[in-house]
Amino acid sequence: MKYIRFFKDLSNKNISLVGGKNASLGEMISTLKNKNIPIPNGFAITADAYWNFIKYNNLEKKIFPLLKNSKKENIQKIGKKIRSFILNSKIPKDIEKEILYNYKKLSSIYNSKNVDVAIRSSATAEDLPSASFAGQLESFLNIRGEKNIISSCLKCYASLFTDRVIVYCKEKNFSHHKIALSIGIQKMIRSDKAGAGVIFTLDTETGFRDAITITAGFGLGENVVQGNIIPDEYQLFKPFISKKKHPIIEKNLGIKNIKLIYSKGKKATKNIKTTDKEKNSFVLKNNEIIQLGHWANIIEKHYKMAMDIEWAKDGITKKLYIVQARPETVKSQENPYIFKKFQLTETKKAILEGIAIGESITFGKVQIIKSPKEIKKFQKGNILVTINTSPDWVPIMKKAKGIITDHGGRTSHAAIVSRELNIPAIVGTNNATKFLKENQKITLNCSFGEKGYIYDNYLNYEIIEEDISKLPKIKTPIMINIASPLSSFKWWQLPVAGIGLARMEFIINNMIQIHPMALIEFNKIKNKNIKKKINILTKNYKNKKKYFIDILSTSISKIAASQYPKPVIVRLSDFKSNEYRALLGGRYFEEKEENPMIGFRGASRYYNKKYKKAFALECKAIKQAREKFGFDNIIIMVPFLRTLEEADKILSLLSENGLKKEKKLKIYMMCEIPSNIILVEKFSEKFDGFSIGSNDLTQLILGIDRDSSELSMLFDERNEAVKNAIANFIKKAHKKKCKVGICGQAPSDDVNFAKFLIEKKIDSISLNPDSVLKIIKNLSK
């Protein structure tokens, strides 16, 4: 055959002949057959056939002069004309004969008279082997019969001249004189009766290399590829896939309103609505997710690069298949060691100031949102200006270019979330919602340090990139504080020694959303609206307690994966009673306290009969993350532990719940109460290490409510009393051969405080991720 190559006879050496898509299929079929990766059979129509088609129909004289004179304003008109020329042309008889002969051959392989095939475009060029044209060209699904095969081939050729491809070629400086089109004809998988989707062998948002991301929708895969639905999303931890561990670290149920299926009418496929059961079900089972991850791992290792892979499940045979694979071309191309620094290039007097969160600059239009009821009105790309935020606001915060609040400090919800989302924020302005005007153009500057400045109108700024591989080395290990698993992968390339504080509260607040006792004693809840909300959140769980355990354990596992095998210190829940009360169902299990900051919080809750059953769920989640998922780098940390007797109770309770302190499992405690300082030698005999919480410690040594705006000028971790207490604690703990770290806000904000800690020989400093580079550079001096 002159113009046809079956996939089994192709490899990546044939890109110029059949394009990257078809060459890749051949590469996998011919080289990975011993790895048992099922790939549907098929063949490619070569680039030579395309050029012969162009010559046979004398299309050079019709097409290329039009393209030469094309401008952006008339591309639409020119593209339509060229496509019309192609669709009204004829495929040369010798080429048509080969196509139909091999279609019959493929049909006979599958014991069919007219086998159903997918017909896909694969662009190529002799001197442009890397031109992928990803997402630019068209595919045709469920094509049967000789007449439809030939007409679909013509449509593939025409798709090389759609408006988007003409623009793409202009932007990339590709000449249509050199670009050819190969066509792939491949046996369809009956995913219309099951599901299909895409696999990336890295995290597509952050480029984290140890993750595999799988998306899935019901029906044929086009709706997932084209973004017509919000698919299910699964993430696996790559190093655990081939081991006897549970590598699935995240599962998100998508909004799958439609599915593409086979049609018997004029159109070969059609979209129909999914059933309620399908909308509320995952497309893939756990064993199928792991199987796809295993194949993706093998494919990536073979190609030695991050891959973008399409998969399909046959609804008749229930078997999974790989149907496409190509190199990932976005995140894998970025330098993971380049970090950005922002600075203004013009000066102007600020109109408002507050506390800076993050170290970047942005500008945009003001949009004032005062109530969660108005959240839906928020326009993506605006600056969110509000009184303060709560977990309900996270979706809107993700859409904002910047965030400004009237209230709040460095440890407020707005500060922590914006920090982790890498969105600049200025909190605690007092009157931004009254002072700023709707749609006012403003600039936020958080690049100066502790204070953040707001300027009227848009100011110019520059971004200076920094190569973190050239950072100076320092002796003291630097770790990071993480709250949300959603952003944990963002910081994977930082040169840190692990995570010094993984906060459980944000997982419970933002992802679980329900008071754990409301899941254990659901019948105590009398409010129908609250019960309805809880039932919606737990709809896929017969056992509501399992909902809490699963989400908490997968979330902790994702955080642990971001730094594995480095240590990840997970702090047990440290909500105050008012924060617990704000969770769904919380008001049935929490009393109002006058001063919750020093009330029923931390360790005292765990053994109390009001919360003991809920604490058992926390323990099961950590045990599941360590043992089922395999993240043995997790260290447990107990917060707000007041007395030695309480320490014994907690250690005993942890042991009862399968978390016994031993060589394989270390247990730390927070040092944030004066009693911890005073009795440091005795606490050292009970725990493996400590982490200083400078916020609470300052509050209790100085007798200041850290949320009090009236006393904010007195709240300072650098106070001599606080520093003396910390220095004394480190010295005495070291005498007992106990390690001491710090996870409070102070060293992130002030390099001199970090310097003080190093002078006192602290074992590690855990910083907010956005402070790491600055602190390392300053400490190295």
Helix (H, G, I), strand (E, B) or coil at 165: helix
Q: Which of 176, 246, 413, 515 is catalytic?
A: 413
DSSP 229: S
Cα 308 to Cα 300: distance, rounded to the nearest angstrom? 9
Which residue has tokens 């940390």?
A: 637
Annotate 95-133 with DSSP letters as a single string.
HHHHHHHHHHHHHHHTT-SS--EEEEEEEE-TT-TT---
Helix residue ranges per DSSP H, 454-543: 485-488, 505-507, 516-520, 528-537
For 59, residues 6+ apart whose C-beta sits below 8 A from its C-beta are 53, 85, 86, 89
Burial 336-362 (b: 16+ CB within 10 A, else e): eeebeebebeeeeeeebbbbbbbbbbb
H helix count then E strand count, the chain? 29, 30
Q: Which element (helix H / strand E) includes 675?
A: helix 674-678
Q: Are 234 and 250 in contact (CB under 8 A)?
A: yes
Judge whether 156 counts as a catalytic residue: no
Cα 759 to Cα 207: distance, rounded to the nearest angstrom? 37
| Strands 352-357 and 425-427, bridge-based pairing | antiparallel
SS (H, E, C) 712-756: CCCCCCCCHHHHHHHHHHHHHHHHCCCEEEECCCHHHHCHHHHHH
For 62, residues 6+ apart whose C-beta sits below 8 A from its C-beta are 82, 85
- Residue 717 identity (one-letter amino acid): E
Helix axes 286-303, 15-31, angle to 10 degrees: 120
Cα 384 to Cα 444: distance, rounded to the nearest angstrom? 11
- Rg for the chain, CA atoms, rounded: 30
Output 676-680 pairs: Cβ under 8 A, ≥24 positions apart.
676/641, 676/729, 677/725, 677/728, 677/729, 679/644, 680/728, 680/729, 680/732, 680/733, 680/736
Minimal CA–CA distance to 426: which of 406, 404, 447?
A: 404
Minimal CA–CA distance to 14: which of 53, 42, 54, 46?
A: 46
Q: What share of the chain is helix, strand, coil (3-state, %, to 5)?
A: 40, 20, 35
Cα 776 to Cα 769: distance, rounded to the nearest angstrom? 12
Q: Are 739 and 689 in contact (CB under 8 A)?
A: yes
Q: Are 415 and 409 in contact (CB under 8 A)?
A: yes
Please, what's the largest Cα pairwise distance for the chain? 93
Cα 638 to Cα 572: distance, rounded to the nearest angstrom? 6
Phi/psi of residue 355, each to 5°? -90, 125
Judge whether 302 counts as a catalytic residue: no
DSSP 324: E
Cα 486 to Cα 496: distance, rounded to the nearest angstrom? 19
Q: Are 760 and 742 in contact (CB under 8 A)?
A: no
- Active site (catalytic) residues: 413, 743
